[in-house]
């Protein structure tokens, strides 16, 4: 059972291309939708699905975070309800765990083919797209792998093919695919200045929603000033 956690960005797209080119079968591809992805990511999923269909590979299964009653809970909704910013603004990565990793794990826990593998006492092969420039991230992940009884994590970009970020870009182009662009929420505190300015110019409605999240959280902020951590987006980039 071979699965891929598709992130919507360069590395995961190159990973799918590489798996096809190296004749490694893929049984399941999941993408966790936070409800706050940027438009180019949603468009690329459509494009990627067309490529996958043309190469006899499975379509991307989109999973979502839901509350205990089965209602959709996006990251934007969570921030607005709790009067907070995404957790990475405070130095944590809980939003990734709750809205990315968690929903995909929950889907697989209830996915019959995965359950059959585990019932046999075996592990599911999970392909992860860390490139050759992400050694620290790779080494940290490998330390956690030994204790994982459900998944056998495989990192072909590093371990088998030695692909750097530029190699991934090249392989995507060679496959006839457009470059996916950076995958992130439209209000991610890790966005760089040029990315925020591009968001404001290209998608002013999304920028306004980001500012609304920031303003909603401001009365409750103590250690950070806004989405820029040490500064507020509204102060630095202005309000629409």
> pLDDT (tens digit, 0 to 9) for every residue of the chain, 240 residues total?
999 999 999 999 999 999 999 999 999 999 999 999 999 999 999 999 999 999 999 999 999 999 888 899 999 999 999 999 999 999 988 888 899 999 999 999 999 999 999 999 999 999 999 999 999 989 988 888 878 999 999 999 999 999 999 999 999 999 999 999 999 999 999 999 999 999 999 999 999 999 999 999 999 999 999 999 999 999 999 876
Q: Is 185 helix (H, G, I), strand (E, B) or coil?
A: strand
Q: Are 198 and 170 found together in one domain?
A: no
Cβ neighbour number for residue 53 with a 10 Å cutoff: 11
Q: Are 155 and 200 found together in one domain?
A: no
- State how far the Cα of 221 lies from the Cα of 232, in Å rounded to an integer: 11
What domain range includes position 142? 2-174
For residue 129, being part of any structural domain is answered with: yes
**What global pTM score does this model have?**
0.93
Q: Is 172 helix (H, G, I), strand (E, B) or coil?
A: helix
Q: Are 148 and 30 found together in one domain?
A: yes
Q: Are 106 and 213 found together in one domain?
A: no
For residue 186, being part of any structural domain is answered with: no
Q: Which of 126, 144, 174 is the last residue of a domain?
A: 174
Q: Which residue, among 36, 30, 28, has the nearest Cα to 7 in the 3D structure? A: 30
Cβ neighbour number for residue 6 with a 10 Å cutoff: 25
Q: Are 137 and 199 found together in one domain?
A: no
Q: Are 11 and 103 found together in one domain?
A: yes
Q: Are 78 and 161 found together in one domain?
A: yes
Q: Are 146 and 45 found together in one domain?
A: yes
Q: Are 86 and 164 found together in one domain?
A: yes
Q: Are 120 and 215 found together in one domain?
A: no
For residue 98, being part of any structural domain is answered with: yes
Q: Which residue, among 123, 105, 81, 130, has the nearest Cα to 32 in the 3D structure? A: 105
For residue 181, being part of any structural domain is answered with: no
């Amino acid at each position: 059972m071979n699965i891929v956690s598709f992130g919507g960005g360069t590395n995961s797209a190159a990973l799918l291309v590489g798996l096809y080119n190296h004749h490694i079968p893929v049984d399941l591809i999941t993408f966790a939708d936070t409800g706050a992805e940027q438009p180019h990511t949603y468009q690329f999923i459509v494009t990627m699905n067309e490529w996958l269909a043309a190469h006899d590979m499975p379509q991307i299964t989109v999973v979502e975070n839901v509350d205990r009653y089965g209602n959709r809970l996006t990251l934007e909704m969570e921030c607005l309800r709790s009067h907070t910013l995404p957790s990475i603004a405070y130095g944590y990565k809980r939003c990734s765990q709750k809205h990315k990793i968690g929903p995909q794990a929950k889907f697989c826990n209830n996915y019959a083919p995965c359950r059959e593998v585990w019932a046999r006492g075996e592990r599911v092969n999970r392909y992860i797209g860390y490139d050759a420039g992400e050694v620290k991230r790779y080494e940290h992940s490998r330390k956690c792998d030994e204790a994982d009884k459900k998944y056998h994590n495989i990192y072909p970009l590093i371990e088998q093919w030695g692909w750097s970020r530029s190699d991934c870009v090249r392989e995507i182009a060679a496959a006839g695919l457009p470059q996916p662009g950076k995958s992130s929420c439209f209000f991610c505190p890790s966005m760089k200045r040029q990315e925020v300015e591009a968001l404001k110019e290209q998608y002013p409605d999304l920028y306004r929603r980001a500012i609304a999240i920031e303003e909603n959280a401001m009365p409750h902020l103590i250690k950070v000033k806004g989405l820029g951590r040490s500064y507020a987006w509204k102060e630095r980039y202005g309000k629409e």
